[in-house]
């Protein structure tokens, strides 16, 4: 099903700690940097404008004071939720350009309102290099909402953020799927105890990005729809160091593209947000260009899959050229001297020639004799080269009367109910 994309800027830094005592985070510049690479034109998207954030000013915040900028984040989340709701009411597909991960609170509030309106639950696919699950129950103090967003949207933490409009939680634990966290994430056992299903990077790469997208969709089969959160620090710093907290062990751009394409290629995906890209660490714009290329190809199933087919993983990509984008040494998670057996989507892939492999993680492996289905979800309008048609799936979600993928709120107003800081700082 083809839907028009509406791009909304959410250039907030409010959820991050300052990188230095005299500076502010650069993530607020991300929407502009991505637009400079013709993102809207290439998506053929409507410009849904910008939600201007309050001033970034930690003031005299100290550990023990709760989440920094809490009042400002709450106000911003209400405004963002209203705008996302209006986009969905128009039958469009929202793409929110953050900003830091605290934008998830606004998206989550919009999804909870929508679920209430259509009489169903909305799920969350959380694609992030970190679990962002710090909360008062597992940490000595909280402070930066960007490192606590998943905890907050699942109802953990102070009520002025975790229970806006008296709604808590915005997403139930069983309606959340976490993809791309590092194998040794600090809160992985807490996620497990909460019943939140995860697929860390090693499992994601072993199963393949396309199969992982299908698996995520299946986990949320009881939901009326789902929202997708993507923090670009899910990528390995060898190819994407322009983030606030780069950690080795991430995925490649091509894997993110295939994962995104699989997640959005179903009417049950209601929208996507992109967070934490910091143009301050991208002086020549090369990382912004790579993100735009990935997003455009990954979102192709939403509007015109025949026009921009998803790029496939090359069986023998060239070794990457790690770059320093943030003053930290670039880390290559994998640079094998000898080929290794292909796994997951590597075995499914054929070279697409869409663009050079420089700056990518080496995925290795020999070219397969015959590709297997990638498992990208939903109806296929055409078959891009190298991507076989998917297996048909029974529809899931709300009754047909809700309109597949166009879950719209009824006209009456919804009634009012009576520190990851920067991951490594807090």
More confident position, 422 or 231: 231
Question: What distance, in Å, lies between the first and last C-alpha atoms of the chain?
Answer: 43
Q: What is the pLDDT of residue 344?
A: 53
Q: Mean pLDDT throughout 192-217?
A: 98
Domain positions in the chain are 5-402
Q: Describe the crossing of helices 253-264 and 209-219 by its angle, rounded to 10 degrees.
A: 40
Please check the confidence at residue 35 and state whether its pLDDT lies above 50. yes
Please check the confidence at residue 248 and state whether its pLDDT lies above 90. yes
Q: Mean pLDDT throughout 68-81?
A: 98
Q: What is the pLDDT of residue 304?
A: 56
Q: Mean pLDDT throughout 400-409?
A: 39
Please check the confidence at residue 69 and state whether its pLDDT lies above 50. yes
Please check the confidence at residue 57 and state whether its pLDDT lies above 90. yes
Q: Mean pLDDT throughout 199-207?
A: 98
Q: How far is CA 82 from CA 74, 118, 267, 410, in A?
A: 13, 16, 21, 14
Please check the confidence at residue 322 and state whether its pLDDT lies above 90. no
**Whole-angstrom distance, CA of residue 21 vs CA of residue 1:** 49
Q: What is the pTM of this model?
A: 0.76
Q: What is the pLDDT of residue 336?
A: 36
DSSP label of 49: E
Q: Indicate the class that CATH gives domain 5-402.
A: alpha beta
Burial class (CB in 10 A: 0-12, 13-18, 19+), 24: middle
Q: What is the pLDDT of residue 2?
A: 78
Task: Name the CA dihedral angle for 108, 110, 111, 117, rounded to a multiple of 10 degrees.
Answer: 150
**Whole-angstrom distance, CA of residue 206 vs CA of residue 203:** 5
Q: How far is CA 13 from CA 30, 72, 177, 191, 386, in A?
A: 10, 11, 25, 26, 40
Handedness of CA 33, 25, 325, 346 (dihedral sign): negative
Residues in the chain: 426
DSSP 215-249: HHHHHTTTSSEEEEEEEGGGB-TTT---SSS--SS
**Whole-angstrom distance, CA of residue 130 vs CA of residue 185:** 7
Q: Any idea which of 286-300, 305-319, 353-367, 368-382 has the lowest mean pLDDT?
A: 368-382
**Whole-angstrom distance, CA of residue 302 vs CA of residue 285:** 26
Q: Mean pLDDT throughout 328-336?
A: 38
Burial class (CB in 10 A: 0-12, 13-18, 19+), 180: buried
Handedness of CA 206, 208, 211, 217 (dihedral sign): positive
Q: Mean pLDDT throughout 365-393?
A: 33
Q: What is the pLDDT of residue 303?
A: 82
The structure tokens 């309606």 sit at 175
Tokens coding 234: 């899910």
- Taking alpha carbons only, the member of 44, 344, 408 closest to residue 212 is 344
Please check the confidence at residue 312 and state whether its pLDDT lies above 80. no
**Whole-angstrom distance, CA of residue 248 vs CA of residue 361:** 11
Q: Any idea which of 35-44, 184-193, 210-219, 369-378 has the lowest mean pLDDT?
A: 369-378
- Mean pLDDT of all residues belonging to the chain: 80
Q: What is the pLDDT of residue 341?
A: 43
Tokens coding 232: 């670009």
More confident position, 369 or 76: 76
- Whether 230 contacts 127, CB under 8 Å: yes
- Taking alpha carbons only, the member of 125, 53, 161 closest to residue 271 is 125
Q: What is the pLDDT of residue 268?
A: 96
146-171 pLDDT, tens digit per residue, is 999 999 999 999 999 999 999 999 99
Q: What is the pLDDT of residue 1?
A: 58
Please check the confidence at residue 29 and state whether its pLDDT lies above 80. yes
């Amino acid at each position: 099903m083809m839907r028009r994309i509406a791009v909304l800027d959410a250039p907030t830094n409010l959820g991050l700690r300052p990188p230095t005592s005299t500076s502010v985070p650069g993530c607020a510049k991300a929407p502009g940097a991505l637009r400079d690479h013709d993102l809207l034109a290439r998506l053929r998207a409507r410009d849904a404008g910008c939600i201007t954030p309050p001033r970034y000013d930690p003031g005299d915040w100290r550990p023990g004071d709760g989440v920094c900028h809490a009042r400002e984040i709450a106000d911003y989340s209400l405004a963002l939720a209203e705008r996302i709701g209006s986009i969905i009411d128009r039958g469009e597909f929202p793409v929110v350009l953050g900003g830091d991960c605290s934008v998830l609170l606004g998206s989550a509030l919009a999804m909870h309102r929508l679920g209430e309106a259509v009489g169903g639950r909305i799920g969350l696919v959380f694609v992030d290099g970190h679990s962002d699950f710090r909360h008062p129950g597992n940490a000595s103090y909280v402070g930066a909402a960007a490192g606590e967003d998943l905890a907050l949207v699942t109802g953990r933490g102070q009520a002025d953020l975790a229970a806006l409009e008296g709604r808590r939680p915005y997403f139930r634990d069983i309606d959340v799927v976490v993809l791309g966290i590092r194998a040794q994430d600090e809160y992985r056992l807490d996620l497990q105890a909460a019943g939140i299903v995860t697929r860390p990077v090693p499992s994601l790469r072993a199963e393949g990005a396309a199969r992982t997208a299908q698996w995520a969709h299946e986990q949320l089969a009881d939901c009326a729809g789902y929202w997708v959160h993507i923090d670009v620090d899910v990528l390995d710093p060898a190819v994407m160091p322009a983030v606030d907290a780069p950690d080795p062990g991430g995925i490649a751009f091509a894997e993110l593209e295939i994962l995104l394409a699989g997640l959005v290629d179903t009417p049950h995906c209601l929208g996507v947000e992109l967070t934490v890209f910091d143009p301050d660490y991208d002086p020549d714009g090369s990382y912004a260009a790579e993100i735009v290329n990935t997003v455009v190809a990954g979102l192709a199933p939403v509007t015109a899959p025949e026009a921009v087919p998803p790029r496939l993983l090359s069986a023998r990509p060239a070794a990457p050229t790690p770059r320093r984008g943030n003053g930290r040494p670039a880390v290559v998670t994998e640079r094998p001297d000898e080929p290794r057996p292909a796994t997951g989507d590597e075995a499914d892939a054929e070279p697409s020639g869409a663009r050079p492999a420089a700056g990518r993680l080496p995925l290795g492996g020999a070219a397969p004799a015959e590709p297997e289905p990638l498992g990208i979800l939903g109806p296929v309008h055409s078959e891009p080269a190298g991507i076989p048609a998917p297996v048909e799936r029974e529809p899931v979600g709300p009754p047909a009367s809700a309109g597949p993928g166009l879950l719209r709120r009824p006209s009456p107003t919804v009634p009012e109910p009576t520190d990851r800081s920067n991951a490594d700082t807090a």
